[in-house]
Structure 1
Amino acid sequence: MSDDDRLPTAGGSDAAARLGPELPPRHESRRHGRVLRQVIGALAALAVIGSLAAIGPAAPAGATALGVAARTAVAAAALATRASARTAELEQRMDADRLARLRDADRGLPLGELDEEERALALGLFREVLSQDAWTQLETAMAADEELDLAAGGGTAWATSAYTITILDAGTAEDPARFVQLRGLELGVSAIIRADGVAVEAELVG
């Protein structure tokens, strides 16, 4: 592979060190860009129709508005309970240093510093709160990032091991909430977990 087939290095030696031993081939970068644009478009469409969260607005045919609202409220509360339990379980597995970074809004804790069970627990939290369509799009984005990392020789900022997870207290004493975020190099997914439900947002962060 010739030097001409490499992407230019942004930010000098510091950026090169952050991104690993080499940058990916241009054709891999272009493919990754297409995949990411498709993912972002799909997530944006899901956000417009209110289908990012696992509890969406769809109602069964012939259902009354009151009945649907009651069932949706119960399901949303149950989802919030499960999500809260997952966040608590993950926090309980952390030592003091990792817990501090897990609760650091600026840094977060890399998935690469979690063991297999902890990583499954962290990703399971987002699988819990996302709709099936949104979860599929997130998996697609992570797979594309992993392929780009492998094309660059591994150990880059695109690797899923470099994704960070953050868990913060949010809300107020009267209305407590937890904020959770999974953040990659270019795409982030956040959720606010309250007693009566979960709100999800996806954003381009690169």
Structure 2
Amino acid sequence: MDEHEEIIGNPNVWGKIFKKSLIEDNDIEFPEDLVAQDSAFLLESLLNAKKIVFIKDIIVYHDNRRNRKKDKSISYVKSKKNLYGRIRAYDLMYNISKQYSREELFCQYLLVQKLLHWYKNYLLETDLSREELENVFRKYSHLFSKGYQTNIRMPKSIKRVFKEISNDNYDAAINVFLKSKQNYHEKRKKANPSLFGKIKTFLGQ
């Protein structure tokens, strides 16, 4: 890990082989009833590993068949359960990183990446009331604050939301978020016109 810190940001479990003794001796488990449990498992495994070997040869071919709307992994469904489950998983991972004195490493290579994914793919896609938004911003304000403090480039609108949360300005954070959500969906509508609209454009009407 000291030689290749960036490996902590490679989240997939299927692309790795784990020594059985590493898992058993350190009592590492997949957290039950938690979305993104594989990320927590992998983080703890990497932080406990005394040696990591890279295999350059291609020995696995990943065939992604879940690319249709009706065939998505349960963990990718846009729902409140998954939205809350993922942020809970990130909080668990943050605590694991502190336990192993790797907090800064986690923030640099994993936390911001995870928060941006969560924000863009779940928070913007899930309808939450102002009360629900304030609750999640308050409960996980330490994660957003760490994300804001970490020197990594991110979209200005998201960075401003994180900044307001880190300053305990939850009303301001919600207002900025709701504005950015409105802009996000308006851009999507323009980028993906209806079939009828496409036909009219094609016919020149």
User: If the length of structure 2 is used for normalisation, what is the TM-score?
Assistant: 0.21
Structure with bigger gyration radius: 2
Question: What TM-score, normalized to structure 1?
Answer: 0.21
Going by fraction, where is helix more abundant, 1 or 2? 2
